[in-house]
Structure 1
């Protein structure tokens, strides 16, 4: 029976990959009607309501001694999510998601710089190779109007790396994952609500009429993201960590197929080479980081 668990974990990770791909697809559709801030708000509020109901029903305690870490994780996660949604709105879907999935490379780098872990020469090579892959994706396949969005996508990967580092720290201290997700959803909902009520420049939120007209997209973004988080958490709980982490990259492939089907976003051969390099480097960085943690 125990031998079945890794396969179950792999299956749940594939479900998570499909869910996150659907989230990206809906964000891209929603970008025609809503700003990135609005999409982040609706994605966060759905997750907050869902996990909030779970907290009430199961009478879980929200008390935590790790407030500073929750604030850092929530701020880094929110900025990363906001930049990620912006990148999806302005770049081919597979490109935006690949740039966001540079997070394992940034995490390995942060563990070396901040956690003072010894830098393995092989890990350094993998990190450099990963960013060579990013160059393959971006040049010359990104036009002049997309460079800013590409930079935001890459920064979203860095923000995700920071977020994962803090989550890793809280996990080592015994903080449950559901509490981390709850405070992240609550923080994101409040901050994005303020951004929507006090918009910057001409970024005026859409009217309630427009919201009602496209409510399916907004709710779908939140449901897909929440389902992705839940199934990803279960995958890591039931499966082998490295296998599950590697299968996370299925999101990129699924998103590329969706981009072709729905938006006719055909990637060039060079871009696909870059995607393959980033995936290979991310898998290698995850393996080396995990091996280092076990030593």
Structure 2
């Protein structure tokens, strides 16, 4: 079941990425972030209240730290997704294991074995390969924002571990993050010249655009729940290795639906970054079994 949950999460996140690209034709980035948070937050809050669960968390501080990192990563990743080919943006976002390894190595002083150091080197080679075609298209600043999203999401993943250690329910973790996305998306719309009020912003959307926004919120929330369930139900190594299936899903959607054919350098970079993540997860697994 653990592997199945992760594959479900990958399909959900890959589909969410496609819907972000499609919604961007008629919606602003603020509206995309708003719906990504509003749909799962409302659905989970209603479900919890009907089930008799409390919405109040005893570890609000942990949620706050996780959500600050997570929402910055989301804005960076979603911006890159709206501007870059879907496969490229997704690959850059999935550099988080590389940055987790660097944080644990340089910040927390964790010793790294040869396999882990090799994984870091492979990961950086993958990043350089993905950035190579971006340089030619003069979209380096956008790609660096996407890469920053991968780096900051590493901090969010480390905070998720803390929430899991105190047995915080996965639905409440996803709901609180949805509330954070809703607040930041709404604040963006109200504070920029793009929309004078939320009702004005929504009135610009056609039914198709609204469907994409509702869909990305639905698939994003479902993906978060499946991801949390997978990491909490067995081997962390297996979940970490399988999560890179999202890159393949996004590449498939990019080719078949959007007509974006990845360059050879992008393919190479994706393979190297996937190898980095799998090797890092396996090296961590070996450490725990010794």
Return the TM-score normalized by structure 2.
0.91
Name the residue aligned to 1:224.
Answer: 219
Name the residue aligned to 1:209.
Answer: 203
Name the residue aligned to 1:21.
Answer: 14
Name stretches of at least 5 consecutive residues in structure 1 with no aligned partner.
Answer: 1-7
Change in Cα spacing, 1:54 to 1:292, as seen in structure 2 (3 Å) is farther
CA distance in 1, matches of 2:18, 2:5: 20
Name the residue aligned to 2:118.
Answer: 125
CA distance in 2, matches of 1:208, 1:20: 24
Select between 212-221 and 274-283 the one with higher mean Cα deviation: 212-221
Check conservation: 1:88, 1:97, Cα contact below 8 A: yes
Change in Cα spacing, 1:115 to 1:182, as seen in structure 2 (3 Å) is farther
Given the alignment of the two structures, is residue 64 of structure 1 paired with residue 57 of structure 2, yes or no? Answer: yes
Corresponding residue to 2:32 among 35, 39, 42 = 39
Name the residue aligned to 2:78.
Answer: 85
CA distance in 2, matches of 1:210, 1:203: 10
Check conservation: 2:130, 2:266, Cα contact below 8 A: yes
Name stretches of at least 5 consecutive residues in structure 2 with no aligned partner.
Answer: none
Deviations 1:1-54 (A, max 9, x none): xxxxxxx32223222211111100000011111222210111100010111112
CA distance in 1, matches of 2:242, 2:270: 15
| Structure 1 residue 137, shift from structure 2 partner | 1.1
Given the alignment of the two structures, is residue 261 of structure 1 paired with residue 256 of structure 2, yes or no? Answer: yes
Task: Output aligned runs, 1:1-295, within 5 Å.
Answer: 8-199=1-192, 202=194, 207-213=201-207, 214-238=209-233, 240-293=235-288
Name the residue aligned to 1:3.
Answer: none
Select between 126-135 and 232-241 the one with higher mean Cα deviation: 232-241
Check conservation: 1:126, 1:285, Cα contact below 8 A: yes
CA distance in 1, matches of 2:111, 2:59: 27
Change in Cα spacing, 1:240 to 1:210, as seen in structure 2 (3 Å) is same
| Structure 1 residue 157, shift from structure 2 partner | 0.4
CA distance in 2, matches of 1:284, 1:203: 46
What number of residue pairs does the alignment pair up? Answer: 287
Name the residue aligned to 1:4.
Answer: none
| Structure 1 residue 221, shift from structure 2 partner | 0.5
DSSP-derived class of the 1:211 partner: coil
| Backbone CA RMSD of aligned residues | 2.1
Return the TM-score normalized by structure 1.
0.89
Check conservation: 2:171, 2:225, Cα contact below 8 A: no
Select between 255-264 and 52-61 the one with higher mean Cα deviation: 52-61
| Structure 1 residue 122, shift from structure 2 partner | 2.8
| Structure 1 residue 219, shift from structure 2 partner | 0.3
CA distance in 2, matches of 1:169, 1:68: 11
